[in-house]
């Protein structure tokens, strides 16, 4: 695509959040009135053409291929200014004559990195190789607690293949292996049975992330992992892919998440002032680059109505929704809530060296009264255009 500079028509000043009144029409975002957007791209950055004249296209959009969504150009809100594979996004916060630029997160416990953001895998020359020969491995790790809770006990973990194409795109496919369940609360507190972390609100002053082992998982295959239980809200985590090169001794390390049932709406109350509509769901995740490093100042949104898209504070031990934030913090967290069940397309973008670029795109599914998790980790082999 040939990039070009748009005329500056205006000076636009972006742990899991379960946030905010459902927009009545596709393309409506965060309560903005539907007016059909402007006449042309209004961001003073290098950009490309978009599906809608009012939107600014990303300059590296070749990776979208035929996998993108189709925006409703006549239903855009004034705040929607970016097109990522057909998903309308808001602009990042302004800074001087331009916009805040995407950076790598350096001072975090996990997924930290230095240097410029790595978006090389979104360019044709840097596309990942097609999936190789699948092998069977054992997935091992811990069930980390999101938000409240002290022991991730009795959590069911199930791995599925993902259906692609047609009306059931993004639905769970065949079960891989057999469901495993983390140990009981008592057993999980035994030495070596969990990963511990200090927490004064827990008995003994520690949280316990129970260990698990899940045999029979295929490599080089698009997968999703679902965690749930009588005390836990279901989390449907997409974008699980195990490269053969990352298998060590027949094992692949992968931590999963446990979300206490009461936290599903406690967090929503913090942002929305009410519970999520019964039968609706929520989306959450992080934005990482091609090197699996968290990204700061990325903007994210979805192609379906939702109450609001929200970002988080940078407190790694207790991240909270930051309703004033307009882009990701050092934790790279985002969320969109109160979304009707069905297919969803998620897009992420940002400005790097004065150029508008895509840094994430994924097709997933929202499930009733459950959480969908999508963490971007660059272009995946199963997403090749």
* Total domain count, the chain: 1
The answer to whether position 5 is within a domain reads no
Spatial distance between the Cα atoms of 377 and 118, rounded to a whole number of angstroms: 10
Hey, which residues does 212 pair with through a beta bridge?
Answer: 141
Q: Tell me: the pLDDT tens digits for 23-40? A: 333 333 344 433 344 578
What is the span of the domain harbouring residue 356?
A: 125-379
Spatial distance between the Cα atoms of 24 and 346, rounded to a whole number of angstroms: 19
Residue with the two structure tokens 């009707």: 340
The answer to whether position 78 is within a domain reads no
**What does the pLDDT read at residue 38?**
57
- The separation between the first and the last C-alpha atoms of the chain, rounded to the nearest angstrom, is 15
Residue 64 has what DSSP assignment? G
**What does the pLDDT read at residue 131?**
97
**What does the pLDDT read at residue 18?**
42
The answer to whether position 183 is within a domain reads yes
Spatial distance between the Cα atoms of 135 and 320, rounded to a whole number of angstroms: 40
Spatial distance between the Cα atoms of 194 and 225, rounded to a whole number of angstroms: 20
Q: Tell me: the pLDDT tens digits for 221-234? A: 999 999 999 999 99
Tell the burial category of 205 from Cβ atoms under 10 Å away from its Cβ (0-12, 13-18, 19+).
Answer: exposed
The answer to whether position 74 is within a domain reads no
CB 240 within 8 A of CB 382: no
Beta strand residue intervals within 182-316, DSSP E: 194-198, 206-218, 223-229, 232-240, 251-253, 256-260, 281-288, 295-296, 299-302, 309-312
CA-CA distances (angstroms) from residue 338 to 30, 171, 242? Answer: 11, 19, 31
Hey, which residues does 84 pair with through a beta bridge?
Answer: 87
C-alpha closest to that of 152 among 89, 195, 109: 195
The answer to whether position 286 is within a domain reads yes
Handedness of CA 3, 5, 6, 12 (dihedral sign): positive
H or E segment at 87?
A: strand 87-90
**What does the pLDDT read at residue 270?**
77
Spatial distance between the Cα atoms of 88 and 75, rounded to a whole number of angstroms: 11
The answer to whether position 24 is within a domain reads no
Helices (H) and strands (E) in the chain, counts: 2, 27
Question: Which residue stretches of the chain have pLDDT < 70?
Answer: 1-38
| Mean pLDDT estimate for the chain | 89
- The rounded Cα 55 to chain-centroid distance in angstroms is 22
CA-CA distances (angstroms) from residue 243 to 4, 66, 252, 281? Answer: 37, 24, 9, 30
**What does the pLDDT read at residue 148?**
78
Q: Tell me: the pLDDT tens digits for 139-194? A: 999 999 987 789 999 999 999 999 999 999 999 999 999 999 999 999 999 999 99
- For 132, the token pair is 């190789």
CATH number of residue 231's parent domain: 2.60.40.2190
Q: Reduced to 3 states, what is the DSSP secondary structure of residue 177?
A: strand
The answer to whether position 226 is within a domain reads yes
CB 316 within 8 A of CB 352: no
pTM: predicted TM-score of the whole model, two decimal places? 0.88
Q: Tell me: the pLDDT tens digits for 93-116? A: 999 889 999 999 999 999 999 999
Spatial distance between the Cα atoms of 91 and 273, rounded to a whole number of angstroms: 26
**What does the pLDDT read at residue 8?**
30
Spatial distance between the Cα atoms of 382 and 247, rounded to a whole number of angstroms: 18
- The rounded Cα 369 to chain-centroid distance in angstroms is 18
Tell the burial category of 159 from Cβ atoms under 10 Å away from its Cβ (0-12, 13-18, 19+).
Answer: buried
The answer to whether position 229 is within a domain reads yes
């Amino acid at each position: 695509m040939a990039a070009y500079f748009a005329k500056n028509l205006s000076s636009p000043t972006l742990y899991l959040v379960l946030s905010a009144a459902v927009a009545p029409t596709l393309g409506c975002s965060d309560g903005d009135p539907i007016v059909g957007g402007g006449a042309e791209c209004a961001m003073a950055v290098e950009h490309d053409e978009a599906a809608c004249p009012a939107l600014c296209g990303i300059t590296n959009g070749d990776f979208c291929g035929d996998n993108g969504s189709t925006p409703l150009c006549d239903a855009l809100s004034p705040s929607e200014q970016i097109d990522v594979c057909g998903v309308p996004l808001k602009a990042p916060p302004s800074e001087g004559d331009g916009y805040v630029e995407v950076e790598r997160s350096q001072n975090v416990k996990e997924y930290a990195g230095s240097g410029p953001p790595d978006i090389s895998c979104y360019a044709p020359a840097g596309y990942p190789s097609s999936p190789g020969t699948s092998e069977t491995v054992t997935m091992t790790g811990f069930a980390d607690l999101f938000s409240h809770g002290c022991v991730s006990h009795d959590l069911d973990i199930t791995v599925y293949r993902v259906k692609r194409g047609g009306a059931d795109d993004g639905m769970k496919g065949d079960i891989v292996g057999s469901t495993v369940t983390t140990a009981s609360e008592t057993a999980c507190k035994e030495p070596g049975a969990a990963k511990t972390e200090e927490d004064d609100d827990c008995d003994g002053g520690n949280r316990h992330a129970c260990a698990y082992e899940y045999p029979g998982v295929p490599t080089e295959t698009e997968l999703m992992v679902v965690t749930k239980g009588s005390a836990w809200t279901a989390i449907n985590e997409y974008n699980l892919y195990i490269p053969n090169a990352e298998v060590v001794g027949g094992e692949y390390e992968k931590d999963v998440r446990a979300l206490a049932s009461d936290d599903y709406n406690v967090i929503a109350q913090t942002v929305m002032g009410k519970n999520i509509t019964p039968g609706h769901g929520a989306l959450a995740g992080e934005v990482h680059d091609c090197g699996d490093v968290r990204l700061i100042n990325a903007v994210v949104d979805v192609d379906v109505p939702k109450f609001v898209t929200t970002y988080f504070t940078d407190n790694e031990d207790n991240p909270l929704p930051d309703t004033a934030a307009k882009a990701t913090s050092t934790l790279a967290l985002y969320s969109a809530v109160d979304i009707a069940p069905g297919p969803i397309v998620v897009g992420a973008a940002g400005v790097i060296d004065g150029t508008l670029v895509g840094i994430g795109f994924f097709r997933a599914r929202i499930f009733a009264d459950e959480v969908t998790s999508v963490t971007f980790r660059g272009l995946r082999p199963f997403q090749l255009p």
